[in-house]
C-alpha cells in the first residue's frame, strides 16, 4: 500500500499472477475470458447491479489481462473504500460463471478479437510476438484465438479458474488517501478466506527468440512493420540502458528515427522503437507503417542508425538529455493513484518488494555510455532480428550490407 494524503481517491487492485503465458495452446484465451466473466454476476449482484453500484459511488471498476498477470481494480473516493473492497471481493469469490452470460460474453470477446485484427497498427504487435516466440504461450494473443473462444465451455472456464486463481498468486495493492491500519483490516475482512489456499507457483522456463522474416498478407494501403529481437528481463539491470537506447533511437519526436525517417524524408507518419520486459525475457523492436515501395529505404535508414549507435555510441550531451526525458516520463506517469497502484503490484510480482522511485531515478542517473554500448552490442543486432510484415506482399530482399 502507498498512502497519498494529497488526493481524494483510493485505487484498489486485486492482481493474480496468471496471464496468457500460463495457458496451454488449447487454453489460449481463458485468462482473458475469465477477466470478462468476473463482471457478469455474483450470488449477490447481477452484472447491471455491479455496474450501477460503482456508478452511484462516482467510481471506476475495470480489469486488464497481460501475459504474466491479470488485474481487477476499482477507484473510488476514500469515503467509499470499504465498498470498493467489498465489491472486488464479491466478484472474485462469488462470481457465478452463468452459462447464459458465458454465451453472451463469447460474442463480445469475438468482436474484440476481430476489432484488433481490423486495426493493423495494433495487430502487428500480436503477430510480431507470435513470430518472435513461435509456438510458446508467451507469443500467443492475449484475447485468444477465434477458434478457441468459439469452443470454450463453462467447464473449461471454471476448471481453469480453480487451478490458477489461488492464494499464492494473489496480490492486493492499494494507493491513495488511506489509513494503513484500516486497509489491513479491510484486507483481512474481505480477502482473508480459506479460498486462498496456497498452491505451487508456476515459473515458466525462458523462451528463446526466433530470428526470421514473416509476411502476413493483407489487402491494405500501407505495409505495417515490426522489426526487433530479444531484450533483457524485467529484473535485469540492463533494462535501464536498453530503455535509454530505445528512447534515443525512437522514443519521441526528437529521436533519431523520427527525425531521419519522418522529419527529413517524410516517409512515414509514425515510427518508434519500444521495449517490453517479462519475467525471463524481453524485447527491443522498431515499428512503422508506410507505402510498400518505401520499405527498403526505411529498413536501410533504421539499420544505418542502429549500426551507427553500435559503432559510435551516443554523446555525453545526448545521454544527459535522454536521462532527463526518462525521469520526466517516469515521474509524470506516477501522478495518479492508478499508476501508483500498478507500480506497487508489479514491483511485488517481479522483485518481491517495493522499489522506491528514488532508487529508479538513481539507476537512470547512473547509466553510462559504456552501458549503452553493451546493450546495443548484445540486444540490438539487425542480423538477429525477427521481421514481421502485415499488408501487401514485399518482393525485395533486405540487404543490410548496403546500409
Q: How far apart are CA 266 and CA 260, in angstroms?
A: 9
Q: Rounded to whole angstroms, what are the CA distances from 383 to 132, 306, 397?
A: 14, 11, 13
Q: Is 397 exposed, middle or buried (0-12, 13-18, 19+ CB in 10 A)?
A: exposed
Question: Which residue among 35, 68, 105, 281 is the active-site one?
Answer: 35
Cell numbers 545521454 correspond to what residue?
Answer: 319
Contact 195/161 with Cβ under 8 angstroms? Answer: no
- Is 179 tagged catalytic? no
81: cell is 473504500
Q: How many residues does the chain have?
A: 403
Phi and psi at residue 256, in whole multiples of 5°?
A: -60, -45
Helix axes 30-37, 154-164, angle to 10 degrees: 90
- Considering only CA atoms, which of 185, 190, 180 is closest in space to residue 74? 190
Q: Which H or E run contains 283? A: strand 282-290
181: number of CA atoms within 13 Å, CB side? 0
DSSP 189-241: HHH--GGG---PPP-PPP-----EEEEEE---SSEEEEEEEEE--TT-TTHHH
Q: State the catalytic residues.
A: 35
Amino acid at each position: 500500500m502507498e498512502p497519498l494524503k494529497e488526493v481524494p481517491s483510493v485505487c484498489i487492485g486485486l492482481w493474480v499472477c496468471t496471464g496468457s503465458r500460463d495457458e496451454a495452446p488449447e487454453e489460449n484465451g481463458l485468462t482473458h475470458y475469465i477477466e470478462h466473466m468476473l463482471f457478469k454476476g455474483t450470488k449477490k449482484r447481477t452484472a447491471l447491479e455491479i455496474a450501477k453500484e460503482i456508478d452511484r459511488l462516482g467510481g471506476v471498476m475495470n480489469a486488464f489481462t497481460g501475459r504474466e498477470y491479470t488485474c481487477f481494480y476499482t477507484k473510488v473516493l476514500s469515503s467509499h473504500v470499504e465498498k470498493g473492497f467489498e465489491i472486488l471481493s464479491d466478484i472474485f469469490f462469488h462470481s457465478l460463471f452463468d452459462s447464459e452470460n458465458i454465451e453472451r460474453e463469447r460474442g463480445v470477446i469475438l468482436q474484440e478479437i476481430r476489432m484488433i485484427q481490423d486495426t493493423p497498427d495494433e495487430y502487428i504487435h500480436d503477430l510480431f510476438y507470435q513470430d518472435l516466440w513461435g509456438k510458446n504461450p508467451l507469443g500467443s494473443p492475449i484475447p485468444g484465438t477465434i477458434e478457441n473462444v468459439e469452443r470454450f465451455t463453462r467447464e473449461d472456464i471454471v476448471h481453469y479458474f480453480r487451478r490458477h486463481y489461488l492464494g499464492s498468486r494473489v496480490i492486493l495493492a492499494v494507493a491513495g488517501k488511506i489509513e494503513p491500519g484500516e486497509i489491513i483490516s479491510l484486507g483481512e475482512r474481505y480477502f482473508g478466506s480459506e479460498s486462498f489456499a496456497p498452491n505451487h507457483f508456476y515459473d515458466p522456463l525462458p523462451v528463446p527468440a526466433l530470428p526470421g522474416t514473416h509476411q502476413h498478407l493483407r489487402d491494405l494501403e500501407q505495409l505495417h512493420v515490426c522489426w526487433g529481437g530479444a531484450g533483457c528481463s524485467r529484473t535485469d539491470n540492463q533494462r535501464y540502458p536498453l530503455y535509454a537506447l530505445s528512447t534515443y533511437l525512437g522514443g519521441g519526436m526528437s529521436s533519431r528515427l523520427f527525425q531521419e525517417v519522418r522529419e527529413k524524408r517524410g516517409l512515414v507518419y509514425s515510427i518508434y522503437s519500444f521495449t517490453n520486459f517479462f519475467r525471463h525475457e524481453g524485447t527491443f523492436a522498431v515499428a512503422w507503417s508506410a507505402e510498400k515501395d518505401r520499405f527498403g529505404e526505411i529498413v536501410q535508414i533504421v539499420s544505418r542508425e542502429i549500426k551507427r549507435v553500435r559503432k559510435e555510441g551516443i554523446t555525453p550531451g545526448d545521454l544527459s538529455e535522454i536521462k532527463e526525458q526518462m525521469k520526466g516520463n517516469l515521474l509524470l506517469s506516477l501522478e495518479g493513484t492508478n499508476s501508483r497502484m500498478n507500480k506497487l503490484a508489479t514491483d511485488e510480482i517481479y522483485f518481491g518488494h517495493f522499489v522506491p522511485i528514488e532508487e529508479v531515478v538513481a539507476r537512470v542517473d547512473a547509466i553510462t555510455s559504456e552501458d549503452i554500448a553493451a546493450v546495443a552490442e548484445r540486444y540490438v543486432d539487425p542480423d538477429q532480428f525477427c521481421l514481421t510484415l502485415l499488408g501487401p506482399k514485399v518482393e525485395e530482399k533486405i540487404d543490410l550490407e548496403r546500409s
